[in-house]
């Protein structure tokens, strides 16, 4: 079971994000000309405001129930699993904390151990489909099916540290618009790795960058603490 807590506010990372893009020569996308640390989700179509959020909100999002099954005979150096999820409309869709409808997903994932030069590592990937009920957010433009996939590789550079590179892609959730934010395939590149804090405790740290500008968030920070 996953119980997300979602917070929308003006933030405090605009200066950092602008500096990140300048340092690595990445597209600025007009962010350097916009006011800093402001919150405004706004979408207008045919002169009608379809979505507007300007005040900070927070609360529980859509609760997800997940299950998986690992293939027992995939091979000594290969792992294969089938996973599924059911999302319940527990979040407030008016505050963009949930979709307002039930959603179900089914996907397959696999990884295979290998060596990168003289270092042990792996390659991994997977993909699947998301089936969406008719939600409350831009309901007449919502697609009912979306596809998603990921592929990546990891290399263990130290006994307690693994570096990872991963690409994620998903098809649009909406149509009927020329805006990339509404109707474009999103591709993100995640860079980072994991650090083993103890025998059975691992900390994952990843930073995500939008390869398709305006179709996904500028920067995503991912932290996960796993107890095995």
Whether residue 138 contacts residue 174, with contact meaning beta carbons closer than 8 Å, is answered with yes
Residue for token digits 């060596």?
115
Domains of the chain in sequence order: 63-227 (2.40.160)
Q: Quote the pLDDT of residue 219.
A: 82
For residue 217, pLDDT over 80 is answered with yes
Whether residue 51 contacts residue 138, with contact meaning beta carbons closer than 8 Å, is answered with yes
Q: For 161-181, give the DSSP string.
A: EEEEEEEEEE--SB-S-S-TT
Q: Quote the pLDDT of residue 73.
A: 82
Q: Quote the pLDDT of residue 99.
A: 95
- DSSP secondary structure code for residue 212 in this structure: S
pLDDT band at 53 (very low <50, low <70, confident <90, very high): very high
Whether residue 104 contacts residue 88, with contact meaning beta carbons closer than 8 Å, is answered with no
For residue 21, pLDDT over 90 is answered with no
Report the relative pairing of strands 201-210 and 161-170 from DSSP bridges.
Answer: unpaired
Q: Quote the pLDDT of residue 33.
A: 83
- DSSP secondary structure code for residue 17 in this structure: H
Q: For 86-142, give the DSSP string.
A: EE---S-GGGTS--SS-EEEEEEEEEEEEEETTEEEEEEEEEEEEEE---SSSGGGB
- DSSP secondary structure code for residue 2 in this structure: B
Residue for token digits 């409350």?
136
What's the mean pLDDT when you consider all of the chain?
A: 93
pLDDT band at 213 (very low <50, low <70, confident <90, very high): confident
Whether residue 118 contacts residue 99, with contact meaning beta carbons closer than 8 Å, is answered with no
For residue 12, pLDDT over 90 is answered with no
Q: How far apart are CA 200 and CA 194, in angstroms?
A: 13
How many residues belong to the chain?
228
pLDDT band at 198 (very low <50, low <70, confident <90, very high): very high
Mean pLDDT of 22-36: 80
pTM over 0.85: yes
Q: Quote the pLDDT of residue 105.
A: 98
Q: How far apart are CA 165 and CA 167, in angstroms?
A: 7
């Amino acid at each position: 079971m996953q119980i997300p807590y979602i917070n929308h506010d003006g933030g405090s990372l605009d200066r950092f994000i602008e500096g990140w893009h300048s340092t690595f020569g990445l597209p600025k996308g007009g962010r350097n000309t916009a006011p800093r640390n402001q919150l405004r989700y706004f979408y207008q179509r045919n002169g009608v405001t379809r979505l507007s959020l300007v005040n900070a909100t927070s609360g529980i999002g859509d609760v997800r129930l997940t299950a998986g099954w690992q293939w027992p005979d995939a091979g000594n150096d290969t792992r294969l699993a089938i996973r599924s999820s059911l999302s319940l409309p527990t979040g407030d869709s008016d505050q963009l904390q949930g979709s307002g409808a039930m959603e179900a997903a089914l996907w397959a994932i696999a990884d295979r151990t290998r060596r990168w030069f003289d270092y042990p590592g792996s390659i991994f990937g997977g993909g699947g489909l998301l089936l969406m009920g008719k939600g409350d957010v831009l309901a007449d433009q919502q697609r009912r099916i979306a596809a998603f996939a990921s592929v990546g590789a990891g290399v263990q550079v130290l006994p307690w540290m693994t570096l990872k590179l991963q690409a994620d892609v998903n098809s649009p959730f909406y149509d009927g618009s020329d805006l990339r934010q509404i109707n474009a395939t999103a591709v993100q590149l995640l860079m980072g790795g994991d650090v083993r804090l103890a025998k059975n405790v691992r900390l994952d740290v990843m930073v995500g960058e939008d390869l398709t500008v305006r179709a996904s968030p500028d920067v995503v920070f991912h932290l996960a603490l796993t107890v095995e």
